[in-house]
Structure formats: C-alpha cells, structure tokens
Amino acid sequence: MALNVAPHSQQACDTCPIRPHAVCAGSPPDQLVVLEGLKFRRSFTAGQVVVWAGEEMDFVASVVSGVAELGRELEDGRRQMVGLLLTGDFLGRPGRAIAPYTVVAATDMTLCCFRRAQFEQLLTKMPALANRLLEMTLDELDVARDWMLLLGRKSARERIASLLVLLARRESAMIGQTPTDRIAIELPMTREAIADHLGLTLETVSRQLAALKADKVIVLDGKRRVTVPSFAALVAESAAA
C-alpha cells in the first residue's frame, strides 16, 4: 500500500484545527510535545480503502479532515456501514492488530497517525490521553446504540430523516450553532453508501428522498445537496426517541 507519509514537521499541533475535539484534547503541553514528535500524516482520496477488514493495522489515527466510513460485510456481499468518522474522530484500536471493519475514505481525507505500538506505550504513561480515549469510545458506543434503534425499528422514511437530522446537527455543531430552520446539508456519500448505512437498498433511499421532497420536507438541489425548510418538521419525521 502506498504510504503517503508527510514529514511530521509539516503541521504543528498548536495550529491543528481538531485539537479541541480529538484524542489529544486535554493532554498537558509537555505530553503534546511528545505526541507531536511521533505523529505522521497520511492522505487519502475519496473512495480509497484505508484498511480492509481482517488486515493488519499497525497504526491508529485521528481524522483531521474529510469523512471515513467503517463497514462490515457478509461473504455474499451484503454490506452494513457501522460507523461514520468525521473530523476529530478516532480510528483504530489500541491492543488489537487486526482491523475488524473495512475503512474507506468517503471524501478526500487526511489522518494524523501514530504507530500502534508507540501509541499503546503512550496510553500507559499519559492518563489524560487514556481518559480522553475512554470518553470518546463511550460516546461512540452511544452513537452505535442509537443506530441500533434506527436499524431495528424505524421505517425507511424515518431512517432517511434521522440521517439528515444527524448530518444537520453535525454541520451546525461545526460552526457552533444548534440547527435552526433553513439548513443546507451536503450528503458526503452516494445513494448506495446511504443505503448501506441505513440498512436499505439504494432504490428505497431514492424513493424516500423523492417522497420527502414531494411532501415539502426537503428540497433537493442536484443529487448531493439537500435544503431543509423546517428543521422541526424534519425531526418530527425522524421519530426521535
């Protein structure tokens, strides 16, 4: 696999945009210096595979920019996306060499990486790092469980609406807002990838988007751009808990 390793001096931690949200958040300055010395960056283009399920993965990383998808699949080709990594999210598992999911770059993406063995060492020496990682993992677990409710019990229309709500919330959070009315959402994935997230077929995704449009819940600008006239109405469609 091509490595795309940039010299680590290229980007300093103290100007890093994801510092407040990533694993390194909360680490004291002296520890940050250590992290800075060990990190290296890798970039991927949209569609590139970062790791295959079952392959060895000798690094862990934070998403600096872009979106990655975690997926599992059955031998017969059925695929389910099990996670969406956005800016600041953590990738990889300390203490495990083999990746349990396939990781694909959904958009162009940059990672801030550490060798796994080194990172495991750091975890034992830097409680702030370990605590932040625990916190992030617990958050991911909550997200995964919310998604289980969606996959197990929601209708196709509710699933689509839920995804749009999630993306809208993320997009607003990025600019430090709570979602108000009239939001524009950029779908960072194809219909097929959406279907694989929601446990649907791409045809059903297409039809339900059309139905939400027909019911004036959303406006479609081209294939990838969605405008939401009333966020409250969208939330109502999503059957929030």
Partner DNA sequence: CGACTAGTTGAGATAGATCAAGATACGTGG
Partner DNA sequence: CCACGTATCTTGATCTATCTCAACTAGTCG
Residues that bind a second copy (CB under 8 A): 53, 70, 72-76, 78-80, 82-83, 93-96, 100-101, 123-124, 127, 130-131, 133-135, 137-138, 140-142, 144-149, 151-154, 198-199, 239, 241
Helix axes 202-214, 191-198, angle to 10 degrees: 100
The distance of closest approach from Cβ of residue 113 to DNA in the complex, given in angstroms and rounded to an integer, is 27
**Interacting residues of 180 by C-beta distance below 8 A, sequence separation 6+:** 172, 231
Q: What type of residue is 154? A: K
144 binds, among DNA, a second copy, none (CB under 5 to 8 A by kind): a second copy
In whole angstroms, give the CA distance from residue 59 to residue 38: 12
Nearer to DNA, 181 or 192 (CB): 192
> Of how many residues is the chain composed?
241
Nearer to a second copy, 58 or 142 (CB): 142
In whole angstroms, give the CA distance from residue 133 to residue 118: 15
In whole angstroms, give the CA distance from residue 91 to residue 76: 27
The distance of closest approach from Cβ of residue 225 to DNA in the complex, given in angstroms and rounded to an integer, is 11
Nearer to DNA, 136 or 198 (CB): 198
Residues that bind DNA in the complex, under the rule CB under 7 A: 155-157, 190-192, 199-207, 209-210, 220, 222-224
